[in-house]
Structures are given as structure tokens and as C-alpha cells.
Copies of this chain bind each other. A is one copy, B any other.
């Protein structure tokens, strides 16, 4: 025995340098040994076995995951027993499917609900279905991972939103549109024969945060996913996800009946087209009985759609919903549409969709981005929220940081998501929050959904920036329960992922909590928007005036001139404000009462106009750019303090990215203050030191990132 131990030890020493402890692959499911011996002993005493009965595949997955997690956390094997064999006297964990009674809400969320409670010596994790059990198991593991006691645990939880999806903008050639973490994790040429082990770890991660659906391909969709050849590949993925309670959805190419069906038209009212989609849907369900449904980007940014045939979005969506037949699927129809040269882009989705409210079939949800333009660092809530009471609306947010510094800026997005969810549309009086629109409670919808555009790729740590894992995590947690605070989520993620040392946790959470406001400050303060680099959306390009369309420029949005800055969307301007309910209009219609964070979204403000801060617009603008950039240095200092408490490789990684972020924050600051100064003709206010470079120099720097 001593020899064997010695050998093991030697093996470990040998293997150590080759097996990095923390390359980020394990995400928040690290399951490292609980460091505190006393605490560990308590957990061990409570979890001497895992018991369950039945053959439910998700239940079995839950038991396996719990075993894996506890073995890592407790450092000892935890046997999985048949319920009968477990007995009732030894302390253990019992998993059971037991739908709760006396619970209102959609059938699905009841099935997904779980309770954790004690019954004699057993800690029971009871789920409304296998899915409920797996969510309960991950909640239990989280309890241990974050160092909470198990004794007296009595938890009951169910999701507030029914369809909780990641949307992958992954292309068949392996690239990811707006992806900054390597290439697509789906290996289409290997499927269905080869199943990358990563697919399973991906499913585990999603299940652990309560996500139950995945749209696997880009909304700018290829028709090939609907071919028999590719459906076999999709089926293989669905088979990996199913034991984790996750359903597969497909983004569809509207013209598929023409491209792969050989039809002359894709008119949704054409009988042959209807028949083609119905047959295709049937074919899909034969292969994937729990297929989730379709996600559609139509008549947007060059994609074909029903309007090509004089039909409406409702005509298109309803045809697809009918094609689903008796199967349990849905259609998520995206409202992200805007035409070239047809007025304020802010208004276009509203104008296209508002009048269709009431025309959509029961199983259609309209998917609306959080804001009216396109995933800017800060946007007012989309005016469609609250404006389509007869239609369930899916909230679409973006986890991949297309406009938020890609993979080199540390921006925790939960505050952005929360800001939108907590926004009060006032459409049914005060308290008509976006969250209540989305969860269906405001308008008593039977179905509800939320979608996050994934930030996942083949990078070893999944998300490029290690801290961007928190955005995936936070999205799932908020999709489950949007009442959680951004800080609470950051805290549990940090404890599970980075460190349990209290001071370090507090420091990291503080930085996370402020990071998005800091990003806004050094890029688009006071309601500036869409002034980033052309096409690649990297770095500042407020001077961009020539592009394929006016609404792809920057000057279209900031409207800087000698008088002032900002887009007048009041009645004197584009009148986009009229899309909101009267209460919102009243607050945002007056520059004096508009929150400063939204000011330039709605008003063209004079450079010398005093703001509530006591500064003029120009001075406030400059102040925010400078203090924003300075705050990145603060983030660096704060991060430096946690060095002893986090993994060394991870520390170095984040520290290096913060250096980049600091440098690029100064680019943004210099580019923007120098450019806007050409209009304001005013000096940089003290105590700030004017940039040492010229505007031309900054332009050159940004330009080179757009070279072929």
C-alpha cells in the first residue's frame, strides 16, 4: 500500500505540469475539494450516498452529476444506490420525481420545478420531472460549492420564464458570427459519427444554470440544416442534450423551399410551400421527437422573408407554426428588422410589428432585442415591450460582446440585463416592467421565452475572456429567476469559479458590478450609441460618415454639430419617443428629466448646456470619458489585490487583458474627445490632461484594424 501511494504521488508530480489545474475549461463546475476540513466533514456526513429509482434519463444524469460533483468536493466516493437499497437510517441524498401540487403556472415550469428538503435522514431533491431533479441537483451542488450549509435546507424553486435558450450564431463552415472565443464548437463534418466530448460538457454547463434550449445555428441561416443529411447531425446533438433536459431549435433560412425543396416560391401562403414546411417539420420530429422549434430572421439585413411575396411577418410565422402540426414546438420570430433609408432605425421594428399584434398564432413568440438599435453598451428598453400585449415576446440579449469590447474587455453583463428587465414600460400602469412582459404575467400569456446570443467557442476556456464565463452564467440564472440581483449572481459565480476567500470575493464582485458602467463611460457616455468601428465593431469610429447605408454610419446616431450633440427623438425630431407609453414619454421627452444615461438617445443637447451634475454637456462628456478610462486603472489595481487568492494562470490572463482594456479605453477616450472637440471647439476641462496625440493619429490606429 505505501508503495502504491508513493507511485501515485510520483505519477501526480509527473503529470502536474502537463495538466493545468485551471485552464478555465471546467467553468463554474470545478468541484474542487472543499478546503475547510470541518465543513467538509459536515457535507460528508450528510451525503453518504445518492439514491433514486426509475429509468428517467434526466434523473439518471442528475444522479451521475451529483456523484461526480460530490466526489470532487468531498474528496471521497459517494455511491449511487437504488432507492430500496439505500435504506432510511443512513444520511444520504434522495432524488425523486414528484410533481408538486397546489402550484400555478405553466405546465412546463411546474415540471421543471424542484424542492430540496429533509425527510428523516434523507435530504430529498424532488423535481416535477427529471429536469426538475437536475436543476435541484445543481442547486444543491451550488450550495456546497459556495460553502452554504445543507442542514435544514428547505428550498423550492421554479423558473419564471418557460423557454430559456442560447442562440448560437454559428455558421456551417465553423466560424461564429460575432464570436470572439475561437471557432464554433459544433464540428459539422464530424457529425453524426463523432460526438466531441465537449458537447456533453456544454450541456452540463447549460443545465447547471437552468437553460433548456439551444438554437444551434446562426439566424443568418444556411438551408443545409434542413436537409436529411444535416438533420442526422442535429439529431446526434439532440441526443447528447436530451439527458440534460435541453431541446434543440433550428434557425431556418426562409427560402429553403426554393433552395433545397426545388419549389419556385417561398410564399408562405402558397399551398406547396405550406406542404413543404409541414413535411419538413414532420421529418424533423421523426428524427428528434423533442425538437423545440424554429427561430427566424426574415426580411432583415438582406435575408429573404414573407415580405418578398407581399406577405407579413405574421403570415410567415403562422405558416411555420401550422407546419409544426401537433408536435410540441414553437416559432420564435425575430423583430430585428430595419430598412435602408426609411427613417429613424429606432422606430422600424415597432412600426413593422406593432400593428401585427393579435395576428400571430398561439405558438408564435416574437423575439425582441433588449434595445431598439443593436446590443449597444446601453440602450433604453425596446419600445415593443408592452406594446404587443396579445403576443408573447422573447427578450433577446447578447452574451457575446460584439459592442462591448469583444474578448479583451472585462464587462459583466448582468447589470445590463437587469436594467432592461427592471425597466418600467408603464403600459399597464407603474410596475409594468419588461420582466413582466417577458415572463407573460403582465398579459397572461401561456408561453414565455428569453434568449441569449452565446459567447461560446473552441477556446479552451469557452469564452475567450475568462470573466466572460460569468455572462453565460448570469444569463442562465436570470433566465431562471430575474429577481436575483446582479451582485448575488456575481458572488456565487466567483465563489464557484475563482476563489472562496471573502475579501477577494468582495473585491471581484465589486469590479464586476461596476464594469459595465465603466465600459459605457469610456465608450458611449450620456446616451451616445453606435459610434464603434465599422463592420468589425472594434474600437471607436465616431467620424464614420460613409457606409453602405446611412444607419451604418456613426454620424447618423450622434449628430454632432457646432450646436451640440445627440439624436433628437422628441416630437421636434424623429419622434421615436412617441412609441413609448405616456409616462415614459413624459420623463424622457424633457432633457431636464431624462436620466443622463439616456440623454443623447433622445435629445440634441447644446455643448454649453448645464447638466444636473453641475457641468456643461461638454465638460460632463469629457469627464466621463476620462474617469471611465481611469476606472480601468482602478480595475487593474483591484485585480492586483486578489493575486494570492486566485489561480496564478488565471490571474495573469485577466491582468494581461486588463492591460489591453486600459490601453483601448484610452483610445476610445482620445478618439471621442478629440473628434467631438472639433464640433464643441472647447478645451479639455481641468484637471484632465488633453490627449498627447492628434485625432489623425488615433484614426490611423483604428483604421489599421480594418485593413484587409
Could you tell me which A residues sit within 8 Å of B by CB distance?
A: 2, 5-15, 17-21, 26, 30-33, 68, 71-72, 75-77, 172-175, 180, 182-183, 189-190, 193-195, 197, 222-224, 227, 229-230, 253, 259-260, 406-408, 457-460, 536, 538, 649, 653, 656-657, 659-660, 663, 701, 704-705, 707-708
In chain B, what residue has the closest Cβ to A459? B458
| A190 lies within 8 A of B407 (CB) | yes
Cα A14 to Cα B71 with chains together (Å): 6
In chain B, what residue has the closest Cβ to A194? B656
Given A195-B656, A656-B194: A8 in contact with B10 (beta carbons within 8 A) = no
| B657 lies within 8 A of A190 (CB) | yes
Given A189-B407, A189-B660: A224 in contact with B14 (beta carbons within 8 A) = no
Cα A182 to Cα B183 with chains together (Å): 5
| A222 lies within 8 A of B708 (CB) | yes
Partner of A18, one of B5, B31, B75, B459: B31
A705 to chain B, nearest CB (A): 7
How many copies of this chain? Answer: 2
Partner of A11, one of B75, B175, B663: B75
Cα A32 to Cα B10 with chains together (Å): 11
In chain B, what residue has the closest Cβ to A706? B224
* Chain B residues, CB < 8 A from A458: 182-183, 458-460
A657 to chain B, nearest CB (A): 6
Cα A10 to Cα B72 with chains together (Å): 9
Cα A72 to Cα B71 with chains together (Å): 27
Partner of A659, one of B11, B193, B259: B193
Given A14-B31, A75-B11: A707 in contact with B224 (beta carbons within 8 A) = yes
A534 to chain B, nearest CB (A): 14
Cα A31 to Cα B14 with chains together (Å): 8
* Chain B residues, CB < 8 A from A408: 189-190
A703 to chain B, nearest CB (A): 9
A259 to chain B, nearest CB (A): 7
| B190 lies within 8 A of A660 (CB) | yes
Interchain residue pairs with CB less than 8 A apart (15): A2-B2, A5-B6, A7-B75, A8-B12, A13-B77, A17-B71, A18-B30, A175-B175, A182-B458, A183-B183, A183-B458, A189-B407, A194-B657, A222-B707, A227-B704
A172 to chain B, nearest CB (A): 8
A467 to chain B, nearest CB (A): 13
Cα A8 to Cα B2 with chains together (Å): 13
Given A194-B653, A407-B190: A704 in contact with B260 (beta carbons within 8 A) = yes
| B33 lies within 8 A of A660 (CB) | no
Cα A514 to Cα B174 with chains together (Å): 30
| B10 lies within 8 A of A75 (CB) | yes
Cα A85 to Cα B8 with chains together (Å): 31
Given A7-B75, A182-B182, A189-B407, 15 more A-B residue pairs with CB atoms under 8 Å apart are A5-B9, A8-B8, A14-B31, A14-B32, A17-B71, A183-B458, A189-B408, A189-B538, A190-B656, A190-B657, A193-B656, A193-B657, A224-B704, A229-B704, A460-B460
| A18 lies within 8 A of B660 (CB) | no
* Chain B residues, CB < 8 A from A229: 701, 704
Partner of A230, one of B71, B175, B190, B704: B704
* Chain B residues, CB < 8 A from A701: 229
A375 to chain B, nearest CB (A): 19
Given A183-B182, A458-B183, A657-B193: A13 in contact with B71 (beta carbons within 8 A) = yes
* Chain B residues, CB < 8 A from A14: 31-33, 71-72, 75
Partner of A197, one of B183, B193, B253, B649: B649
* Chain B residues, CB < 8 A from A224: 704-705, 707
In chain B, what residue has the closest Cβ to A7? B75
| B193 lies within 8 A of A660 (CB) | yes
Cα A696 to Cα B637 with chains together (Å): 65
Cα A175 to Cα B26 with chains together (Å): 25
Cα A253 to Cα B7 with chains together (Å): 56
User: Closest 6 CB pairs between A and B?
Assistant: A194-B656, A193-B659, A10-B75, A183-B183, A224-B707, A14-B72
In chain B, what residue has the closest Cβ to A5? B5
A480 to chain B, nearest CB (A): 25
| B223 lies within 8 A of A708 (CB) | yes
Given A13-B77, A75-B14: A406 in contact with B189 (beta carbons within 8 A) = yes
* Chain B residues, CB < 8 A from A230: 704
A125 to chain B, nearest CB (A): 21
Given A229-B701, A460-B460, A657-B190: A33 in contact with B18 (beta carbons within 8 A) = no
Cα A663 to Cα B708 with chains together (Å): 38
Cα A15 to Cα B459 with chains together (Å): 21
Given A6-B5, A13-B77: A193 in contact with B704 (beta carbons within 8 A) = no
* Chain B residues, CB < 8 A from A172: 707
| A660 lies within 8 A of B194 (CB) | yes
| A10 lies within 8 A of B33 (CB) | yes
Cα A20 to Cα B15 with chains together (Å): 11
| A18 lies within 8 A of B72 (CB) | yes
A403 to chain B, nearest CB (A): 15
| A223 lies within 8 A of B707 (CB) | yes
Cα A701 to Cα B72 with chains together (Å): 46
* Chain B residues, CB < 8 A from A183: 175, 182-183, 457-458
A376 to chain B, nearest CB (A): 20
Cα A58 to Cα B193 with chains together (Å): 44
Partner of A10, one of B19, B76, B407, B705: B76
* Chain B residues, CB < 8 A from A663: 193
* Chain B residues, CB < 8 A from A193: 656-657, 659-660, 663
A666 to chain B, nearest CB (A): 13
In chain B, what residue has the closest Cβ to A201? B18
* Chain B residues, CB < 8 A from A259: 707
Cα A75 to Cα B10 with chains together (Å): 6
Cα A653 to Cα B173 with chains together (Å): 21
| B26 lies within 8 A of A11 (CB) | no
* Chain B residues, CB < 8 A from A9: 5, 8-9
A15 to chain B, nearest CB (A): 8
| A13 lies within 8 A of B75 (CB) | yes
